[in-house]
Amino acid sequence: MILKDADAQLTEYEIKFAHGNLGFFMSAYNRHLLMDSDLTESDAFNLAITDIVFEITQEDIEQLAEYEALSFQKEYILEITTPTTITKQQPAELPSLIWQGQETELIQLIYALIEAKRLPEKGKIKIVETIANCLGFELSTNWKSNLSKSISERNSDYQPAIFKDLEEGWNSYVESRDKK
């Protein structure tokens, strides 16, 4: 019921926005978010403001804030009420899809993929937890502080072993393919 109410209120705001100047603002805002996945919502907001040539009234700002709050509420309700399809138990046909390395290595790999723009930057913690879960690996409760500690205690020329292992693994794969 709460979700239907939030949807109805959001639709009401969207209709108001479409009939007023805020419709142009919302279109520009959404366009910026879609075009550049690295943008924060705040950056998209600021870019949309510069795209639109009209004065935003206090009432407009209040409506935008209410709309944003309702959007957040709806996403939260969906998140806590939608059953997850990812389970800790792996299907029988994929027994080898289980992380074989250390916890810190897995996290270093995921963060490297994020920083290399191979995975989205938004929601890093959720991304790490989801990938670990998909790989049948249960993260320790203090995984974030362990990662932070490993970063702060490293030497300036330190390269995590996982990256050397990946390079060697790739080279071994290529060599074995060349021999065939």
| Per-residue pLDDT of the chain in tens (180 residues, 90 and over written 9) | 566 676 676 666 666 655 555 666 667 777 877 888 787 877 777 777 666 655 566 676 677 677 677 777 777 777 777 666 555 555 555 556 788 888 889 998 998 999 999 888 888 889 999 898 888 888 998 888 888 888 888 887 888 888 889 999 999 988 888 887
How does DSSP classify residue 98?
S
- Provide the whole-model pTM: 0.47
Alpha carbons 45 and 40: distance in angstroms, whole number: 9
Alpha carbons 57 and 21: distance in angstroms, whole number: 10
Per the structure block, which two tokens stand in for 2? 């709460």
Per the structure block, which two tokens stand in for 151? 């970063």
The answer to whether residues 99 and 132 touch, using CB atoms and an 8 Å cutoff, is yes
Residue whose structure tokens are 């930057």? 121
How many other β-carbons are positioned within 10 Å of the β-carbon of residue 137?
16
Domains of the chain by residue range: 2-81, 103-179
Per the structure block, which two tokens stand in for 102? 């250390």
DSSP-derived 3-state class of residue 171: helix
* DSSP per residue, 15-79: HHHHHSTHHHHHHHHHHHHHH-TT--HHHHHHHHHHH--SPPPHHHHHHHHHHHHHHHHHHHHHH
